[in-house]
Structure 1
Amino acid sequence: MRSLVPLTEQDACRLICPWCGRAARGTGGFRVVRGGATIGAAVLAPPERGSDLCPPRSAVLTRLWVRPDDVGEHVGTQLVQRVCAELLASDLRHLVAYGTRGRPDCAHLPVGWLAVVGFADHGGTQWRIDLRRAAPSLGFVRDAASGLLRGWRPGRDKPAPANRG
């Protein structure tokens, strides 16, 4: 079973990407852990100072990777969804990522994948999720998940017995 765990700035600096061997730099994010090992990570940072490229109230996805053996399990998608939920709760408006049509790495993600998980193209290499537009669908997902969980909790919301006589 895997778990999603918050990532501190110190934790992010200690994580080494299994694809490129570089450590991540950022102020936080999330990692996915299974059996005590990190199988994926999403590292965030604020936009660079003086940069006009990122809109106000945005966060930048500086690194996102999934361990090679765990690719295809939607770990990256789960990380992006969790990051969006946290950013929305912290009153930020955009998640920015950088993509490539060439060979991807942990800092430049495949543009096809970015489009599938909800990012929109903003100038070739920069991709963004507008959290205000994504919020209604995130709310739907949250409501659907809570409804499913309510149905799986034993002893709660049980139907009343039919008193047939």
Structure 2
Amino acid sequence: MKTEKAIFACGCFWGVQHQMERAAGVIRTTVGYTGGHKENPTYPEVKAHTTGHAEAVLVEYDAAQTTYTDLCKLFFEIHDPAQTDGQGPDIGPQYRSEIFYLDEEQKRQAEKVIQILKDKGYEVHTRLTPATTFWPAEEYHQHYYDKTGGEPYCHIRVKKF
């Protein structure tokens, strides 16, 4: 099995994780913080907008069962990439739409998916940013909806591809 990684941010990480961990080929997901300037940020710090981090999900997947492009398509189907500072009722820079690419090939694939969406008439403000350190979030955030039995309120999948 060839395990690869991807990092996506598109609103509250609870809903993103809930959707991503159910995708074919996904082995493991971890919610956390990335894209900021402070080491080991905490949820209260990120929520207070003092660290610059986004709430994000690290996705580990079997490259023989799914592709980075497929995960990018899912990413765009579970949020509104036209929103610039949040998703649904969750507003703030920590909820921004951003793909943190791990290499130039991931960047190229994400750019292709964005172009497909634009060609279909979708507005896309998603940032593409080189990945930096991914800091796992506190344990109580991991697999939140699995623990609580709830369902995501703002990450409803809408087919776009």
Superposition TM-score, scaled by structure 1 size: 0.36
Query: Structure with the greater relative contact order (CA < 8 A, sep ≥ 6): 1 or 2?
Result: 2
Structure of higher CA gyration radius: 1
Superposition TM-score, scaled by structure 2 size: 0.36
